Structures are given as C-alpha cells and as structure tokens.
Structure 1
Amino acid sequence: MSTQALHPSPLATTLRVLAHLLDYPDAALRAQLPDMRAALHAQRTLGEARLAELDALFDQLLDAAGLDAEAAYVDLFDRGRGTALHLFEHVHGDSRDRGPAMIDLIKTYEEAGLHLASGELPDHLTVVLEYASTQPAGSAADFLREIAHILRNVFSALSRRQSTYAGVLVALLDLAGEPTKLVDVPSEPGLDETWSEPAAFGGCSSDGQRSPGEPQPVRIVRTTQQPQPGQSAHGAST
C-alpha cells in the first residue's frame, strides 16, 4: 500500500510492528524480527507484561525452523473462522454484503491517500493496522476501539488454541483502552471443510491467506451495523 502522508509517532511504530507480527512469517519477515523487537521495546507504548508476552512470540518465531513457522501460521489463521485475520469474515461471513463492504473499505483508504498494492485485500488485520498507523494517535486509538469487539473474538479463539499470537491481540486491546476478556467462541469445523475465499476477492489460496512464496497484504474493515464498537478496515503499502 502506498501513502501520501504519515504521522510518525510511538503508537504508529508500535502498530506497524504488531501488524508485521501478524504477517506470514517467511524468511524476509523472520530476518527482521530482532529489529522489530528492538523498535517495539523502544517505543514505551506497551507495559512490561505485554512486552514479555510479545517476546515469547518473537522467541518462538526465531527458534522455529522456517517451514515449521510458516506451516503453523497457516494452520492457525487459515483453517478456522474464529482465528481468521480477515475482519469481514467476522462481520459478514459468506454473505453478499462482503463484496460492497470491500469496495467501501478501499474507498476509505483512497480518501486517506492510501492505495492497496496489487494482490492486497482491504480487510486483513495487518492492512487495517497499517492504515491505523498512518493516522494521528488519537484517531488511531479511536479506530482500534471501533474494531475492539472483533479483536476480542480473535483473542479468545487464539487463547483457546493456547497460541502465543494471542499476545498481539491483547496488546491491541491495551492500545485501544479496552479490557481484555475472554468471550464465548463457538466450536467450528476447520475452514478447509466449510469455506474457501470467493475468487472475486482473490489473494487467498487453499494454502492460506498468502500464496506460497508470495506476500499477501490485506487491510481494514468498516461495518455499518450496530455501533458496538463498529468496525472498519484500512491499510496501505509503501
């Protein structure tokens, strides 16, 4: 995603690191992990407990063999609805509302001077966080509050899987000023058994949100449904 103007701040840097932590852990990303960890600790936007939880994820990704880290990521995020990082999956599911919502989200990005790169999907949490990182700190925090109910759902699903990735969602809820609490997440069959991404939205393969060896960017979600922290999804690539 390309941007016209950025608002650098400790929060912006923190959001970008958290976005990358939720990205597909290919070799390029794993090579950046030490710098990402240092940047995260330098910002002082998260408390020691949260940083310790994120350090556990950094250590896990650094210690794992490359193929093991990638396979674990696909199994965790691409084979179940509860842990899906595509925010519209939690808002619209398989309904036809998803397509128009994607278009509206892309327009939101463009109005902010942001443009998706080829192959990027607008409602992926990594893209959403990149969008938030380009906004002033107050607006970014407000935006996180809008999607807090979805963050809480994903956190609960990850916690049920005892995944260290849950620490990223907890950190996002902290930045939003929202409480961390588990919510009921219904049991479900694997995503492979029940759902495949419609071709019209592209970018997803049977192997997951990213095609093997090919980065898959995706960005934010905005819902026009009830204002329970509503939702939006935005993102951009430089």
Structure 2
Amino acid sequence: MAQHNRLLLSMLSALLDYPDQALLDSLGEIRAALAGADALPPVVRADLDTLLDQLSARTLIESQEDYVDTFDRGRAASLYLFEHVHGESRERGQAMVDLLTTYEAHGLALANGELPDYLPVFLEFLAQLEHDEAQALLGEISHIVSNLANALSALGTPYAAAVDAVLALAGELRERGAAEEVAGESTEPDHAALDREWEDPPVSFLGAPGALGATPQPVHFYDKRPAR
C-alpha cells in the first residue's frame, strides 16, 4: 500500500480509538494530512473536518464521554467486528483466535490484551501490509463497515465520517439518505432498534492460515480501551 494510505489507515485507527491527550495534540497534524488525501472523496474529507472540529472544541473528558455514549450503547455501533457477525456466541471466540493467528503469521502480536477484532487494531494491522493484501482484507469487512457507518449516521454522530473513510479506502462509498432520515426523527436514538435494523447476517471472513511462520514480535496497537 502506498505510504499515504498507510498513514491514512493509522490516522483513522487513532480517530476511532478511545480519545486521549496524544490524539487531541495531534489533531492539527491529522487535519493537514487529511486535507491532501486524494484517496478520500471530498464529501468524506469535509465530514472528517466536522469530527476534528468537535474533538478540538471539547475537553478530553467530554470527548471520552461522547465516545463511550456513541460506541458502547448497542451492537449496531460496536467497533468490535466479530460482534456484528457472531454476537456473543462461542463462534466469536474462535474467530478471534483465527484473526490473532493471522496477525502472528505476519510477525505481529497484540500488546496488553486488546481484542483482535477491535476496528482500530485491525486498521493498524492493515497499515503494516502491502497494498493488495490490505485491500483484500478491507473488502472482506466492507459490509460490516457499511452497516456501521449507517448506524453511526443514524445516531447523528460525526464519528460516521471516520468509518465512511474506511469504506472509501475499500473502494466503496456509502449511500446516504435513509440513515440521515432516521437520525432526524428523534433526538434520542433507539439503539435497540438500530441493532435490529443493521444486524449483520452470519458470514465467514478473515480466515487464518494454518502455519504461524516466523516468531511474532510485539507490536503496539491502540490498546487504551479495556478488553471486552
């Protein structure tokens, strides 16, 4: 993957992770990089500016509270990929083992117990890969990412822009309209209804190879959030 897209994946990983002071201190740098990101459509870059404006205008505590309120209210807005596919079933555990094996096969290992299906972790992993492999893996999660973007848009949160950007890097652009109409109907979104509306059908993706290859070396992913 071109160096610019590697940087984009890392920045989107940071924007979708639990906010910390390092992120807030880097917003100007992120804004400058996104302004020249030809890989992202103008509408997505404009929406990302809105997200950056919100993060810049709020205190760290306010940003953290908003993050938890956005992503921890229901399955539809979850940043844990396999929660969309398997819910809390036993299959989710095996899928995470398989994904961790995929990381290890590339010589990478999670630090500090973060779950492998956490989207910011997965994006940081993709930033380590060559273009074709990263694009293939992005394509495998594009359905989940699209549904997540719709759910976030329905909640009226600018975080939808960061997920739209991930979808754009996968070569897709979310159709807008229905989710925005849902968002306009009520100032108190029904998270349970969103879970039902954007529930993902059972699918299989991100299968791990049988052999691990070289001994994995620890890599620091974004691990500020507690494991679930």
TM-score (norm 1): 0.74
Greater displacement, 9-18 / 26-35:
26-35
| Paired position in structure 2 for 1:59 | 53
Are 2:20 and 2:60, in contact at CA under 8 Å, matched by a contact in 1? yes
Q: Matched residues in 2 for 1:36 and 1:188: separation?
A: 30
Equivalent of residue 237 in structure 1, options 188, 203, 220:
220
Paired with 2:2 and 2:28, the residues of 1 have a C-alpha distance of 21
1:159 offset after TM fit, Å? Answer: 0.8
Aligned to 2:84: 90
How many residues align structurally? Answer: 195
- Report deviation, 1:10: 1.1
2:166 match: 172
* Structural RMSD (CA): 2.6
Q: Among residues 44, 48, 65, which one is paired with 1:50 in the alignment?
A: 44
Retained in 2: the 8 A contact 1:143–1:232? no
Does the 8 Å CA contact 1:88/1:123 hold for their aligned counterparts?
yes
Cα gap change, 1:112 to 1:58, in 2 (>3 Å): same
The 5 Å alignment of 1:142-153 reads 142-153=136-147
Residues 188 and 51 of structure 1: is their aligned pair in 2 closer, same or farther, counting only changes over 3 Å?
closer
Query: 2:91 and 2:126 mapped to 1: Cα distance?
Result: 23
Q: Which runs of 5+ in 1 are unaligned?
A: 1-6, 191-224
Alignment of 1:32-51 (within 5 A): 32-51=26-45
CA distance in 2, matches of 1:17, 1:130: 9
Kindly provide the amino acid, as one letter, of the partner of residue 168 in structure 2.
D
Q: Counterparts of 1:18-33 in structure 2 under 5 Å?
A: 18-33=12-27
Distance 1:97 1:114 in 2: 23
Q: CA offsets, 1:161-214, max 9 Å, x none?
A: 0111111111111111124136889x6449xxxxxxxxxxxxxxxxxxxxxxxx
Offset of residue 109 of structure 1: 0.1
Q: Structure 2 counterpart of 1:131, which letter?
A: F
SS in structure 2 of the partner of residue 82 of structure 1: helix
Q: Identity over the aligned pairs, expressed in percent?
A: 43
Pick from 106, 111, 124: which aligns with 1:112? 106
Using the TM superposition, give the Cα deviation of residue 99 of structure 1 relative to its aligned residue in structure 2, in angstroms: 1.2
Q: CA separation of 1:232/1:58 partners in 2, compared to 1, >3 Å: closer, same or farther?
A: farther
Q: Does 1:130 align with 2:113?
A: no
Shift in Å, 1:74? 0.3
TM-score (norm 2): 0.77
For residues 75-102 of structure 1, what are the alpha-carbon distances to aligned partners after superposition, in whole Å with 9 as ceiling and x for unaligned? 1001211100001100110111111111
Q: State yes or no: 1:121 paired with 2:121.
A: no
Which structure has greater helix proportion?
A: 2
Q: How far apart, CA to CA, are the structure 2 residues paired with 1:14 and 1:20?
A: 10
Gap runs ≥5 in structure 2: 183-189, 194-201, 209-217, 222-228
